[in-house]
Amino acid sequence: MMLRGYLDGYEPPVDESVLVAASEWMDDPRWWPAFLWSVGGSHAAAGAFDVDPADVETMLETLHRTERWPVMSINAAGDSRVFLVWRNFEDDSGWDYLLTAAGSDTPTELAVLDGHFRGPGLSWAELIAMAGQPDGERGPAERLLLLLPAVGDADLLAADLVTAAVAAVGARRQQQEIASELLRACERFWGRCEWDTVHEVPVCLGPHSPRHPTRHPLPELQRIAQAFTAR
């Protein structure tokens, strides 16, 4: 697993072998309740699946072991990819959403979920476009829920869509409650952010967003936005 430059600057240094490709873990029945509970911010998710909550906690322990950092990835437009990294650095753990462009292994930061948060990385409209992109690996519900924690948008209103996605990944109970918790959790770091366009390029007006118009040159912001357009 190579994300060039991602591990630079850690002290003590972190070897790149710590990054473990883990997208197949999403097929484990414990994974979705663990993800929705931890990254997603839904406490109800832990008991809403036909999985023993103790097994969900075991999965969480596996995901947060400091000796390996699981990396999930999904396809984006134009052969770009979005990565979610469990950054299990001792005393500085969190979850990082990254984007790599076609033909590149150098990631661009989309969102960071921790005490020193940065984000959001996507608007609601971009999330819907990403969820609906053709993908032979993951379905629309999986794509929507995997990216939802990186979203921040004042127009985030479609609770029914999130509820349906929660049911689609296996929740048997409390689907609406989980959806409500997930949507509220989207505001826990950066609040409800406004989005605008600059020379037809979508930008986020939230001061902590990597997609704020002052964070990158316009061509880079355009390259990021193109990854989330419908294919």
**Looking at the chain, how many residues does it have?**
231
**77 assigned to some structural domain:** yes
Q: Which pLDDT score, from 0 to 100, does residue 187 have?
A: 87
CB-CB contact of 141 with 169 (8 Å) = yes
Q: Which pLDDT score, from 0 to 100, does residue 225 have?
A: 94
Q: Which pLDDT score, from 0 to 100, does residue 25 have?
A: 94
Model confidence at 78: pLDDT above 90: no
**20 assigned to some structural domain:** yes
Domain that holds residue 46: 16-226
Between 15 and 135, the more confident residue is 15
**155 assigned to some structural domain:** yes
Average pLDDT over residues 9-19: 91
Q: What is the 3-state secondary structure (H, E, C) of the chain?
A: CCCCCCCCCCCCCCCHHHEEECHHHHHCCCHHHHHHHHCCCCHHHHHCCCCCHHHHHHHHHHHCCCCCEEEEEEECHHHCEEEEEEECCCCCCEEEEEEECCCCCCCEEEEEECCCCECCCECHHHHHHHHCCCCCCCCHHHHHHHHHHHECCCCCCCHHHHHHHHHHCCCCCCHHHHHHHHHHHCCCCCCCCCEEEECCEEEECCCCCCCCCCCCCHHHHHHHHHCCCCC
- Both structure tokens of 21: 């490709």
- Both structure tokens of 23: 């997208």
**86 assigned to some structural domain:** yes
Model confidence at 219: pLDDT above 70: yes
Q: Which pLDDT score, from 0 to 100, does residue 2 have?
A: 73
Q: Which pLDDT score, from 0 to 100, does residue 115 have?
A: 86
- pTM for the complete prediction? 0.96
Which residue type is seen at 87?
R
**83 assigned to some structural domain:** yes
**115 assigned to some structural domain:** yes
Q: What's the domain count of the chain?
A: 1
Model confidence at 129: pLDDT above 70: yes
**10 assigned to some structural domain:** no
Mean pLDDT computed over every residue of the chain: 93
For 153-184, letters b (16+ CB in 10 Å) and e give: beebeeeebbbebbbbbebeebbebbbbbbbe
Q: Which pLDDT score, from 0 to 100, does residue 101 have?
A: 85
Average pLDDT over residues 108-123: 95
Average pLDDT over residues 110-122: 95
- Tens-place pLDDT, residues 155-184: 877 899 999 999 999 999 999 999 999 999
Model confidence at 189: pLDDT above 80: yes
CB-CB contact of 42 with 178 (8 Å) = yes
Q: Which pLDDT score, from 0 to 100, does residue 92 have?
A: 82
**4 assigned to some structural domain:** no
